């Protein structure tokens, strides 16, 4: 499931997912992105990721429209 907002050049989105992990409890993940539209082709910002196995990642990103 994806939900979020675009307000002017600001982009905020949450991504929530679950997936099977080989017969055990399903892995639940949530990601958050906080970015800005740089131009019509580029978004730059920070992402934050956490899952039910306590994996935590974050850092900058740049996304290009293709």
Q: Look at residue 20 in the predicted model and tell me its pLDDT.
A: 83
Q: Is 64:41 a contact under the CB 8 Å cutoff?
A: yes
Range of the domain at 25: 2-64
Which whole-number Å values give the CA distances from 47 to 22, 24, 50, in the listed order?
Answer: 27, 28, 10
CATH number at residue 48: 3.30.1300
Q: Look at residue 8 in the predicted model and tell me its pLDDT.
A: 94
With a threshold of 0.85, does the pTM exceed it? no
3-state secondary structure of 45: strand
pLDDT-derived band at 61 (thresholds 50, 70, 90) equals very high
What's the total number of domains in the chain?
1
pLDDT tens-place string over residues 9-54: 999 999 999 988 677 788 899 999 999 999 999 999 999 999 999 9
């Amino acid at each position: 499931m994806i939900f979020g907002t675009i307000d002017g050049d600001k982009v905020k989105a949450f991504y929530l997912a679950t997936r099977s992990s080989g017969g055990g409890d399903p892995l639940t993940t949530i990601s958050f992105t906080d970015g800005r539209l740089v131009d019509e082709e580029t978004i730059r910002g920070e992402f934050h990721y956490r899952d039910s196995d306590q994996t935590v990642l974050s850092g900058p990103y740049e996304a290009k429209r293709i």
